[in-house]
Chain A
């Protein structure tokens, strides 16, 4: 019975996706098919069918709620690429919106993978959802494997430091991890800096209840005016920068890698400044 119910929900969502996407986009989405086995999943657990069902609410958010505008998405090269973005907004909708933009607006369309926190696989329902829509635990081995398979990978080098930062720190990039740079050097992968403007205001966090977070095993427990799961309808602007190619030894000292990471960070920060200067308001 439960099975039939989930099937019906899936079908309904799938129809919604089809209604939201125009004919051309529908065609493009079908072209995303990857090598799948007879059970409709790739070895990592990505399922196109499931993803197209799951896409509907996000496409709706993308179009009608956050009214996302993208700039420079054509700069994303074909083949392996690391999209390195700022991370904000308490709930990772910035990742989802970048994902939808790459599916609907990039040509050819791409289903990007993002590297999720290691605690995600221990969450019921969330873990299954993430796996079926192609999101993978962020271990270096996983990342290396996907880049070798010419996939596009979204990384948030700030990690939870970025997404959980409080209101006064908005649009200030937190410390970047170095792991993505090692992988880029090792696999000769171009880096596209990405700046998301608007996600920061969707859930302004006034404080972080650390004891509650600890109790629930979450990285943080932010207190926001609307309550955590409901974001404000801010306008999203996503800026894609020019590809950055780095050369050097992947096993170099941290200080050397840090210089390269700072180049990426500066590119994102300057796009953030530009985006903030250009926008007329938070909600439009």
Chain B
């Protein structure tokens, strides 16, 4: 909890979940230009000196002090947990209650800009999806995978906040699968497997985005132009099989009627860390249309398709 006297007077950007991979990438991009206050339960390893850090839980009363004591001009909310092994109750409380509190403080302390990280996963993969889902497509993910319910709820909370507080610029970003050298989410972990399962006879188009590009998108969202919900797409779409080829993996085709019960058993006995409904992502399409974001902030991802795919290898 350090604050140098010179920077304490400048209005700050509060970043929740700053100690995660994405948070750290974002902090490195932003700390030269903005005064950053980080909030996270975890310590920030390799924190730049000018980033002020509060190690606390958003649900705690003390989190309000950050807003009481500092002039906050913008909030970037990434403090959302996706751990399939965590109890559903804890998961839900952390994500939903945490977001609710944070949005309350934003309204109460006159924050001008709120950027919330959601995910393109909220639409959910499904055989009857259109090839490209726009921002107004229904959020169907929970109908097949109840574990993502709270992510949808966070998205909806931010959405209703956007309508309730028209004078606050709220931006909700729904990036596609985030990958990167140190990212530990399901898509990155899956792509790192040398002999990954694939669903025999299914080869959906997938969209990946490099973690650095997501961080750049979050920074771009601080600009005055963007408002509302945006899908954020990386360098484009590519068949899953091409991704496997690029990475030199040897996929094992598993017939889909067998894959589900098998993975369920493996997951139960902790032999696999992928929740069985995640199989939908390698069977069906969940691709989004990012053109609104492209036009509103002239978005162009910096990492090419090849670099984005290869980034999971940590080269």
Contact = CB atoms under 8 A, between A and B. Distances in A.
B129 interface: yes
A145 B131 CA distance: 9
B202 interface: yes
A142 B130 contact: yes
A139 B205 contact: no
Nearest to B284: A121
A141 interface: yes
Interface string A21-42: 0000000000000000111010
Contacts of B199: 124
B255 interface: yes
Interface stretch (B17-25, B95-103, B237-245): B237-245
Interface string A43-68: 11100000000000000000000000
Interface in B234-260: 235-239, 242, 245-246, 253, 255-256
A145 B287 CA distance: 14
Contacts of B205: 41, 43-45, 131
B130 A124 contact: no
Contacts of A216: none
A142 B131 contact: yes
Interface in A66-119: 118-119
B201 interface: yes
A127 interface: yes
Interface size class of A (residues with CB under 8 A): 20 to 34
A232 B246 CA distance: 43
A121 B130 contact: no
A121 to B, nearest CB: 4
Given A37-B236, A39-B305, A128 B201 contact: yes
Given A118-B128, A145-B130, 20 more contacts: A3-B245, A37-B305, A39-B239, A39-B305, A41-B205, A41-B238, A43-B287, A45-B205, A124-B199, A124-B201, A124-B256, A127-B201, A127-B202, A128-B201, A128-B203, A131-B203, A131-B205, A141-B131, A142-B132, A145-B132
Interface residues of B, number: 30
B305 A141 contact: no
B286 to A, nearest CB: 12
B209 to A, nearest CB: 15
A135 to B, nearest CB: 11
A255 interface: no
A252 B144 CA distance: 35
A44 B131 contact: yes
Contacts of B239: 39, 41, 45
B10 interface: no
Given A45-B205, A139-B130, A141-B132, A39 B256 contact: no
Interface of B: 127-132, 134, 199-203, 205, 235-239, 242, 245-246, 253, 255-256, 284-285, 287, 304-306
21 contacts: A37-B235, A37-B236, A37-B237, A38-B305, A39-B242, A39-B246, A43-B131, A44-B205, A45-B239, A118-B127, A120-B127, A121-B127, A124-B255, A127-B127, A127-B202, A128-B203, A131-B203, A131-B205, A137-B127, A142-B131, A142-B132
A45 B134 CA distance: 18
Contacts of A44: 131, 205
A127 B201 CA distance: 8
Nearest to A50: B239
Nearest to A144: B130
A2 interface: yes
A136 interface: yes
Which of B128, B242, B284, B285 is most buried by chain A, counting CB atoms within 10 A of its CB? B128
Contact of B306 (A38, A45, A141, A142): A38
Contacts of B235: 37
B198 to A, nearest CB: 11
Interface centre among B199, B202, B245, B306 (most CB of A within 10 A): B202
Contact of B242 (A41, A120, A128, A139): A41
Contacts of B242: 39, 41
Nearest to A127: B202
B203 A137 contact: no
A121 B204 CA distance: 9
A44 B238 CA distance: 9
A137 B130 contact: yes
Nearest to A122: B127
